[in-house]
Chains A and B, each alone.
Chain A
Amino acid sequence: MTAVQTRSLTKHFRDVAAIDGVDLDLDEGRVHGLLGRNGAGKTTLMKLLTGQVFATSGQMRVLGEAPVENASVLARTCFIQESQKYPDGFRPRDVLRIAEGLYPAWDRELARELIGEFRLPEKRPIAKLSRGQLSAVGIILGLASRAPVTFFDEPYLGLDAVARRLFFDRLLADFAEHPRTVILSTHHIDEVSNLLEHVVLLDGGRVVIDAEAEELQAAAIEVSGRAEEVREFVGDADLLHLQEIGALATAAVHADRGRAERARAAGLQVAPVSLQNYIVHRTNTAVEQTAAIS
């Protein structure tokens, strides 16, 4: 079943289209990556889907229903916002106590464990928490809520490498035991790429990529060797990226059928392109194309 569906979804802020005609179908029970540069529209899309802002036009369905002002959908949705504000004087334990009342599937024991693992001072006022500790509050809430649809918007901010690994491992383990739909936005693509099953790349409020992570992993290759040979091999193929150092060059190209074999046969080195690099290349290409049109 489809957990999230949008059709021609559009959100304007004055004359800026933050979300511009987005059509998406996100399957239930999977981990979806929502990627894109700052200002690409990721947060706005999540806010639309959780009824926090209203669409200018278009349709959306979350768990089969319109999410706006719909308590039955919102109780099954958890949105961990990057810039979540809490009432003055609130401590982490107050937030978790309230969350326990809001989410029917709340797992108190899991929340306890996570507080210990993230070393969260649960009695310290939230205003006095570090950025990383604030992120930990959101992560604990997002995992322990066990909501059928969970949005994590940049859950990593301020977290050290140990805590990021902890989030990754706990999300993976809990997702395996209690399958649900997770929509994750992050700039740390390399760190989560093996967790993502499906990827949506937004740029300027539009969908640039909507594909299986596995396809993207194999979508491009990097060929390197003598510059003239690389240029000759690449020819007029779809070039994602070209870099030259003296007589040497490296080119990222779409991995069309048999291209890797042909590159090897031509005496060039062939390497895979990571999801992160692919996303960077595709974002840059999108920018160049827009620049060329305007």
Chain B
Amino acid sequence: MLDESKPLFIAVADQIEDGVLDGTYPEETPVPSTNELAAFLRINPATAGKGLNRLADAGVLVKRRGVGMFVAPGATDLVRRRRREDFRQAYIAPLLREADHLGLTTQELITMLTEEAPR
């Protein structure tokens, strides 16, 4: 369920971020509590809390005293902007590396992309 190639608390944060991005957690609504997350993901509460705090530090979540963590206003744009910046490194670089192994030219890649893209 969680991406095991990265530290657990980062995997937790990324999963919540995915939810913010796809509207599972709309802005200004609560996200699961530390203990709920821990039970659901079967991880230590301290790790779950660390993941949530990472998002709070990044401005994606805001703490409301005594109530819990909420998705910050503008969080969707914030996450989308940062993910776009990471896109080259995380997706384009490995794509080009594999294409190179297979002897695919850039033109062939572009053709594939155009064919596979919806519409």
Chains A and B form a bound pair: yes
The 8 Å CB contact of A175, one of B8, B9, B41, B45, is B45
Q: Enumerate A190-215 residues with CB–CB distance to B below 8 Å.
A: 194-197, 214
**Known: A172-B39, A176-B35, A176-B39. Contact between A31 and B8, CB under 8 A?**
no
**Known: A176-B35, A177-B35, A214-B47. Contact between A194 and B42, CB under 8 A?**
yes
> Which residue of chain B has the shortest Cβ distance to A173 in the bound complex?
B39
Within the assembled complex, what's the spacing in Å between the Cα atoms of A197 and B7?
12
Tell yes or no: B46 within 8 A of A by CB: yes
What is the total number of residues of chain A having a CB less than 8 Å from a CB of chain B? 21
Tell yes or no: A282 within 8 A of B by CB: no
Q: Enumerate B11-50 residues with CB–CB distance to A below 8 Å.
A: 34-35, 38-39, 41-47
Q: Which residues of the partner chain B approach A172 to less than 8 Å between Cβ atoms?
A: 38-39, 42, 44-45
Contact with A along B92-118 (1 / 0, CB 8 A): 000001000000000000000000000
Within the assembled complex, what's the spacing in Å between the Cα atoms of A239 and B44?
30
> Which residue of chain B has the shortest Cβ distance to A218 in the bound complex?
B7
Within the assembled complex, what's the spacing in Å between the Cα atoms of A120 and B41?
27
Tell yes or no: A121 within 8 A of B by CB: no
Q: Enumerate A130-187 residues with CB–CB distance to B below 8 Å.
A: 168-169, 172-173, 175-177
**Known: A176-B35, A194-B47. Contact between A169 and B42, CB under 8 A?**
yes
Least distance between B93 CB and chain A CB atoms (Å): 9
CB of B42 within 8 A of CB of A176, answer no
CB of B7 within 8 A of CB of A31, answer no
> Which residue of chain B has the shortest Cβ distance to A271 in the bound complex?
B5
Q: Is the interface of B mostly helix, strand, loop or mixed?
A: helix
Q: Which residues of the partner chain B approach A195 to less than 8 Å between Cβ atoms?
A: 42-44
Q: Which residues of the partner chain A approach B34 to less than 8 Å between Cβ atoms?
A: 176
Q: Which residues of the partner chain B approach A30 to less than 8 Å between Cβ atoms?
A: 46
When A and B form their complex, which 5 residue pairs have the shortest distance between CB atoms, in order from nearest? Answer: A176-B35, A194-B43, A176-B45, A272-B5, A197-B44
Given contacts A176-B38, A194-B42, A264-B97, 14 further A-B contacts (CB under 8 A): A168-B42, A169-B39, A173-B35, A176-B34, A176-B39, A176-B45, A177-B35, A194-B8, A194-B41, A194-B47, A195-B43, A197-B46, A214-B47, A267-B97
Q: Which residues of B contact A (CB under 8 A)?
A: 4-9, 34-35, 38-39, 41-47, 97
29 CB contacts below 8 A, A to B, read A30-B46, A168-B42, A169-B39, A169-B42, A172-B38, A172-B39, A172-B42, A172-B44, A172-B45, A173-B35, A173-B39, A176-B35, A176-B38, A176-B45, A194-B41, A194-B42, A195-B42, A195-B43, A196-B44, A197-B46, A197-B47, A214-B7, A214-B8, A214-B9, A217-B7, A217-B8, A218-B7, A264-B97, A274-B4
Least distance between A102 CB and chain B CB atoms (Å): 27
> Which residue of chain A has the shortest Cβ distance to B37 in the bound complex?
A176
Q: Which residues of the partner chain B approach A264 to less than 8 Å between Cβ atoms?
A: 97
Q: Which residues of the partner chain A approach B41 to less than 8 Å between Cβ atoms?
A: 194
Least distance between B89 CB and chain A CB atoms (Å): 10
Q: Enumerate A7-53 residues with CB–CB distance to B below 8 Å.
A: 30-31
> Which residue of chain A has the shortest Cβ distance to B50 in the bound complex?
A214
Q: Which residues of the partner chain B approach A214 to less than 8 Å between Cβ atoms?
A: 7-9, 47
Q: Which residues of the partner chain A approach B5 to less than 8 Å between Cβ atoms?
A: 271-272
Least distance between B31 CB and chain A CB atoms (Å): 16
Q: Which residues of the partner chain A approach B46 to less than 8 Å between Cβ atoms?
A: 30, 197
Within the assembled complex, what's the spacing in Å between the Cα atoms of A176 and B39?
9
> Which residue of chain A has the shortest Cβ distance to B34 in the bound complex?
A176
CB of B35 within 8 A of CB of A31, answer no
